[in-house]
Amino acid sequence: MNELNNINDFLDNSMKSSMLDKPGDDFTAKLMLEIELAKEFQKEDKTTFRYLNLFIIGIIGSIVSSVFILVALLGNRVNENDTATEGILSGMYNFIEGVSQKIFGLLGFRMSGDTVLYVMAIGFVIVIYSLLDKLVFKRNTIN
Amino acid sequence: MSLEIIRRIQKGETNLFVEVVDAYKDKAFSLTLKILKNREEAEDSLQEAFLRLYKAIMNNSYEAKAKFSTYFYTIVYNSAIDLYRKYNVKSFNVTSIEINEAKYSDGDELIKNYESKIDKNLYAADDYSTEKVIEKGEVKKIINDYINSIPEQYSVILNMFFLNDLSHEEISQILKIPVGTVKNRIFRAKEKLKELLFRTFKKEELLDYIKV
């Protein structure tokens, strides 16, 4: 039994040693260089994305504020006394309403102009939220 | 590898990662070499594996994993398989153990073919005798030849078990095969080697050799 154990131990050790191989001497140095480079690229990407994010946030911000201002103004257009502004707004309102009615008509819906604007506003908020989530709050892989 | 070391690497102690690399690189390289059979590709694959590990440590995705060795060797194995698939026009014919599982229902067919090949070569050899003094390196050569010629379904598992000290369960988890298959292959491979040695040398000769 003891002899068999000796043979088993010998085989285990022999198999272990016969399987061992080594990579090149510069393996660790090359790997660490690759890691440093990856970190460097990550830093550069971070800076680029920071500016890109600011740019996107700026554009999105202006779109959002424009939409909300439009919704607010068009929603109150009946009370407006300024005829010039009312003319422009009414034109825009009629244009948006006309296009939207056609699109929704094709899809089989009937909506008023105000509803279309509210739907557009909600759509914008959803798009903006997903964009912000993806671009601004995204976690980076290498610090 | 302890959680403490991981935390310190995350805080920027890169030299600790160098220590991790130095501790695992030889054994892990032996495994990738066994799979890819090309030193350059094995090194590339291992570099990729360590890079993936580093990223996993830095973005905290490693901590959820229970055991470091299982996590690390899964990365090592998958990196090697990815590289193999990228260049699968080469003559390497096994690697993906799960693919061959389907081909050889329990892997037995393959080892039986291999065993009969060994038997044929052994009995045909002129130096087959029952009484002799084992020459230095003779046993080692037989073991080396055996390890180098055994089918990949066996050699990868043997490498993980004997060299990389992974448990049956860990190997089963990494290769996605049943624990029973892992145990069976280790047992059969070892028994066959023993049989091979006993056919070449007497038990006493072998024991004398081991004592020396």
Q: pLDDT tens digits for A55-72?
A: 888 888 887 777 777 767
* B51/A7 Cβ within 8 A: no
Q: What percent of chain B lies above the pLDDT cut of 70?
A: 74
**Measured between alpha carbons, how far is B208 from B212 in angstroms, rounded to an integer?**
6
ipTM, 2 dp: 0.71
* B158/A21 Cβ within 8 A: no
Position B160 pLDDT exceeds 50: yes
- CB within 8 Å of B87: residues ≥ 6 apart: B41
Position B127 pLDDT exceeds 90: no
pLDDT at residue A31 in the model? 93
User: Which among B158, B177, B6, B36 has a CA at the least distance from the CA of A12?
Assistant: B158
**Chain region(s) in chain B for CATH 1.10.10.10:** 100-211
* B34/A19 Cβ within 8 A: yes
Ramachandran angles phi, psi of B67, nearest 5°: -120, 135
Mutation site, B143, B193, B195, B202, interface A, largest A CB count within 10 A: B143
Looking at domain B100-211, which CATH architecture does it have? Orthogonal Bundle (1.10)
Q: B91-124 pLDDT, tens per residue?
A: 444 434 443 444 434 455 556 666 666 555 554 4
Q: Which residue has the higher pLDDT, A48 or A117?
A: A48
Neighbours of A43 (CB within 10 A): 13
**Measured between alpha carbons, how far is B92 from B35 in angstroms, rounded to an integer?**
8
- Record the pTM: 0.65
pLDDT at residue B148 in the model? 84
| Residue B179 near residue A54, CB atoms below 8 Å | no
**Measured between alpha carbons, how far is A59 from A61 in angstroms, rounded to an integer?**
5
Q: What percent of chain A lies above the pLDDT cut of 70?
A: 73
* A143/B143 Cβ within 8 A: no
Q: B54-78 pLDDT, tens per residue?
A: 988 888 777 665 688 889 999 999 9
Q: Is B50 on the interface with A (CB under 8 A)?
A: yes
Predicted confidence band at B201 (pLDDT cuts at 50, 70, 90)?
confident
CA distance A131 to chain B (A): 22
DSSP class of residue B161 equals: I
- Fold assignment, B3-86: Rna Polymerase Sigma Factor; Chain: A (1.10.1740)
